[in-house]
Amino acid sequence: MNSLSCQLEFLTEADKLKNVIRNNTLLDATRRENTAEHSWHVALLALVAAPYFPQDVDVDRAIAMLILHDLVEIDAGDHPIHQRHDPQAIAAKEQAAADRLYAILPSAQGSALRALWQEFETSDSATAQFARACDWLHPEIMTLMGRSPTAAHLQISIDNLKTGRVARLQTIWPDAYHLIQAMVDGRSDDTPLGRVAGFIAQTDALKHVLRATPILQGSRRENSGEHSWHLCLFALVLADHSITPSNVSRVIRMLLIHDLVEIDVGDTPIHGDFDQTDIEARELKAARRIFGLLPKPCGADLLALWQEFEAAQSADAVFGKSLDRVQPVMANLCSGGGTWPEYKVTPAQLETRVGTKVKRGAPAIWAALHPRIEAWFEAHKT
C-alpha cells in the first residue's frame, strides 16, 4: 500500500470519532455532543483565545494537538470527568489506541503525529498546557452559557471549578478561571475573553447545520461542525499532496472557520440548484456578523482569512478548497454512493463540479480516488 492509500485509510478510520458521544450537551441541550464536533470547537476556541493566554504559545501547534487529542476515543471511548475511573487502565487503553491508529499512517508521519498527541497528554510544554486549558474551558462555556443546562450538569461545572481540573486554571490561566467564576455567579463579563466565550457559544450552532453528505459509515447526515474537524485532519495528514507548496497551519485555520457562515445561511449542496450571487451576498453578511462578535483585530483577521478562502486564489486557499471538495467524495464512496443517487449526479457533473477543483490543488488525491469513482458509476448505470 502506498503512502497516500495509508493516509486515506487513516482519514476513513478517523471518521468513527463522529459516533463517539460525550456527556455534555450542545448549547441548546437538544442532544449530546460527539467528540469530532467537540474537537473542532475546542480547536476554534484555541485559535481565538490564544492572545489572552498568559504565556507565549505556538497556537497552530496547539490547534493541531486539539484536532488529534481525542482520536484515541475511537477505541478507548469517552470518560466523563464526574465518574469514577481507573486512570492507569484508561491510559493503557488510550496508548493502545494510539499505537493502532497512528500505525495506519506512513511510519514517519504516524510517529510525528503520535508524538504530538503524546505532548498534549503529558502537557510538558506551554503550548500543550494551553491546549489542555482550552479543553477544560470548553465544556464549562457550553454548560454555563447553555440555554437550559440540567441541574446535574451545572453541579458538575461548579464542582469542577472548585476542586476539579478547571480549578487548575487559577494558576495556569487566571483570566479564564475568573471568567468561569463569573458565569457561575451569574455576573456578566465584558472582557475580551468574555467576548471570545460569547463567540464560542454562538458558533455552537454550526453543529446543527446538516450537510447533504453522510458520515462515512452512512448512518446519518454529517453536520458542518464535525465536517470542519475532519477537513482540518485532512489538511494535517495530506499537506504534502498540495500541488503548490502551502502553509498547512494557515490552511487549517481556514478550514476551522470556512463554514461558520452556514450558521446564518445554511449548507449549499454542490449538486443542488441555487442562486450563486445571492448565496455569496448572504454569506458575506453572515461572515461580517459572526466575526464581528470577536475582539479586534482577531475578528477582522479571521474575516480576511475567510474571504481569502472564498476567493480561492492563494496556494493555501486552493489546497483548502480541494480538500473541502474531496472529503464528501470519500463520504459518498464509503457509504454506497451516499447522496449521489438523490441528486442524480452523473460522472460528468462530478468531474466538472468537483474533480476540476480538487485537481487544481491536489491532483494526486483525485487520481487516487478516480478508479473508485469510475467503478461506482459503472456499477450503478441505469
pLDDT at 75 over 80: yes
Whole-prediction pTM = 0.96
Q: What is the pLDDT of residue 44?
A: 98
The stretches of the chain forming alpha helices (DSSP H) are 3-14, 35-49, 59-68, 73-76, 87-102, 107-122, 126-144, 151-163, 169-172, 174-185, 192-203, 224-238, 248-257, 262-265, 276-291, 298-311, 315-334, 347-350, 356-361, 363-379
Q: What is the pLDDT of residue 287?
A: 98
Q: What is the pLDDT of residue 248?
A: 98
pLDDT at 148 over 90: no
CB crowding 94-114: b at 16 or more within 10 Å, else e = beebbeebbebbbeebbeebb
Q: What is the pLDDT of residue 272?
A: 63
221 backbone dihedrals φ, ψ, rounded to 5°? -75, 145
Structural domains of the chain sorted by starting position, each given as residue range(s) with its CATH number in brackets: 3-205 (1.10.3210.10), 209-379 (1.10.3210.10)
The grid coordinates of residue 349 equal 457533473
> How far is C-alpha 102 from the chain's CA centre?
19
Lowest mean pLDDT among 40-44, 120-124, 230-234, 340-344: 340-344
Q: What is the pLDDT of residue 85?
A: 74
Q: What is the pLDDT of residue 218?
A: 82
> How far is C-alpha 141 from the chain's CA centre?
17
Tell me the pLDDT tens digit for each residue of 194-249.
999 999 999 999 999 999 999 998 889 999 999 999 999 999 999 999 999 999 99
pLDDT at 299 over 90: yes
pLDDT at 300 over 70: yes
Q: Residue 83: pLDDT band by 50, 70, 90 thresholds?
A: confident
Q: Residue 150: pLDDT band by 50, 70, 90 thresholds?
A: confident
The residues, any chain, with a CB within 8 Å of residue 340's CB and separated by 6 or more, are 271, 332, 350, 376
As a whole number of angstroms, the distance between CA 314 and CA 321 comes to 11
Of 226, 238, 215, residue with least CA distance to 113: 238
Tell me the pLDDT tens digit for each residue of 340-364.
999 999 999 999 999 999 999 999 9
Tell me the pLDDT tens digit for each residue of 251-286.
999 999 999 999 999 988 776 667 788 999 999 999
Q: What is the pLDDT of residue 271?
A: 66
